[in-house]
Amino acid sequence: MASVWKHPKSRFWYARYLSKDGRWRNASTKTTDRKEAQKLADQFEAGATVRRTATQARRVLSRLHAEITGEVLPSSSVHAFVANWLLEKKSTAKATQVFYENSTSQFLKHLGALADDELTMVTKEHIVTFRNALMERLSAKAANHHIKVVKMLFRAAKRDGFIVDNPAEFVETIREKSSDKKRRRPFTLDQIRALLSVADAEWRSMILCGLYTGQRIGDIARLTWANVDLEKGQVRLVTQKTGAVLLIPMAPPLREHIESLPAPDARPELSALHPRACALLKRSGKSGTLSNQFADVLALAGLREKKAHRATTGEGRGGRHDIEQLSFHSLRHTAVTLLKEAGIPAAVVQKLIGHESTQISELYTTVGEEALNKAAAALPSL
């Protein structure tokens, strides 16, 4: 039976109770009231008893299952299963791995001591409280990304036989209010000219490549001369986010710009089109610093208020802060807008920019080189 005792160097009562492993444990009740402390001690032991009973039941069921079928039911603590699951994800992109590690780390921290228990001890309520905690500090979109990872984790656990029922299956994602959304918008041509007028040579090149290919800042920074085929007038790359292989025809202004750049070294695959940006990306492994530098260019052009850059918190772009309507990604929006305004069919725009879309995947097969060249030629000169 649980009891309470007073530590000579503390004003609080301590609870003494049997833990789930059958050992006596001591824990401060954080109260000076003896009756209240006894109630807490009884609750500690009651909770531990329930867990011991559940653990014993699982062991009996596992033994019966083994005797009847000859197969041993797998078991794992939450910590151990997460570690093995992350090992399985080593084949994904590095940035995705980091995100998985961040999401699962936050989930384990939320579970506390329960993370050392078996997977079967995690309930829907634990995942719901984790989701609600995320809502307090993250945007709906970012919180939903973390919940998606937890759902993936428990789907894998059910698939591999560690659990019978998936506690995350019916946990609802957060509905984002339309009033909370602040979408990025494309640049006007005058705004792009303003950017080019204040940017240094490398950022001018980054901006032009971003506009005429519609690619993300990290993919533009990674471009080497091996990605450029001046003879065929193409930029060839594999996108970091989706792994899509793109053959992008050069718009005439982009070709003219690339031809004006210094000639590559003997090994084109080692010669970056934008050496400073490429080196920065390799050092950090993330595009955040490049985005901050571009924000400074925006401020210099008068297109954004000059702000101090936020320190990294591990929450990425999902923290509760205002989304800037103009960023490097706006060049991608600009390319799409200009192409559509030029009357280029939606399927061709999707193929040229590299948007992932299951709805029009069949249309992609009808998009030929001639259509893509026509689309690239429709982009205006600055």
Q: pLDDT per residue over 84-97, tens digit each?
A: 999 999 888 887 88
- Whole-angstrom CA distances from 140 to 107, 147, 150, 175, 199 are 17, 10, 15, 7, 35
The CATH classification number of 189-309+325-377 equals 1.10.443.10
Q: How many residues does the chain have?
A: 382
Q: What percent of the chain has pLDDT over 90?
A: 36
- Whole-angstrom CA distances from 213 to 26, 333, 338 are 64, 11, 12
Higher pLDDT, residue 320 or 284:
284
Mean pLDDT of 15-29: 72
- Which residues have a Cβ under 8 Å from the Cβ of 34 and sit 6 or more positions away? 4, 13
Rg of the chain taking only CA atoms, in angstroms: 28
How many angstroms separate the CA atoms of 112 and 118, rounded? 13
pLDDT number for residue 193: 93
32 pLDDT higher than 80: yes
pLDDT number for residue 368: 57
pTM attached to this predicted model: 0.53
Contacts 24+ apart (CB under 8 A), 251-259: 251/212, 251/376, 251/377, 251/379, 252/377, 252/381, 253/208, 253/212, 253/379, 253/380, 253/381, 253/382, 254/208, 254/209, 254/212, 254/213, 255/230, 257/205, 257/208, 258/228, 258/230, 259/230
How many angstroms separate the CA atoms of 248 and 228, rounded? 10
318 pLDDT higher than 80: no
The CATH classification number of 78-175 equals 1.10.150.130
pLDDT per residue as tens digits for the range 203-219: 999 999 999 999 999 99
What does the block give as tokens for 359? 């709805």
314 pLDDT higher than 60: no
Computed over every residue of the chain, the mean pLDDT equals: 81
Please state the domain extents for the chain: 3-69, 78-175, 189-309+325-377
